[in-house]
Amino acid sequence: MIGLDVDIFFLLYLGSGFALLFGLWFYYDWKDQHLFAAQRSKVIYHCIKCSQIYTGVHGSEECDCPQCGFTNGRLRF
Ligand SMILES: [Zn+2]
């Protein structure tokens, strides 16, 4: 049987705890970045026909106004 020293045991115990915490941190950071980034970032449009301000999907250059149906280009700042 392999005997474990107390120092080695605590080192492995703390190391496994830190590895678990950092693993969860990287997992949720990756999940947030890849799955929810597209939902959060939207493009703002201003309708030049009816002055409606609305949002479109991420990366789009043109979008139809939900109120009048006129196709507008994205706002650039
Ligand atoms: Zn409109």
> Are residues 47 and 67 located together in one domain of the fold?
yes
> Are residues 46 and 34 located together in one domain of the fold?
no
Instruction: Find out whether 46 and 72 touch, Cβ atoms under 8 Å.
Output: yes
> Are residues 46 and 29 located together in one domain of the fold?
no
pTM above 0.85, yes or no: no
Residues of the chain with pLDDT under 50: none
Give me ligand 1 centre to Cα 57, in Å. Answer: 17
Give me ligand 1 centre to Cα 68, in Å. Answer: 4
At residue 39, the pLDDT reads: 78
Give me ligand 1 centre to Cα 50, in Å. Answer: 4
At residue 2, the pLDDT reads: 67
Number of domains the chain contains: 2
Q: Which domain holds residue 50?
A: 42-73
Residues in CB range of 35: below 8 A, 6 or more apart:
none
Give me ligand 1 centre to Cα 71, in Å. Answer: 8
Cα separations in angstroms, 45 against 38, 41, 72, 74? 17, 13, 7, 5
- Domain presence at residue 10: yes
- Domain presence at residue 1: no
At residue 58, the pLDDT reads: 85
- Domain presence at residue 51: yes
Residues in CB range of 75: below 8 A, 6 or more apart:
43, 44, 45, 46
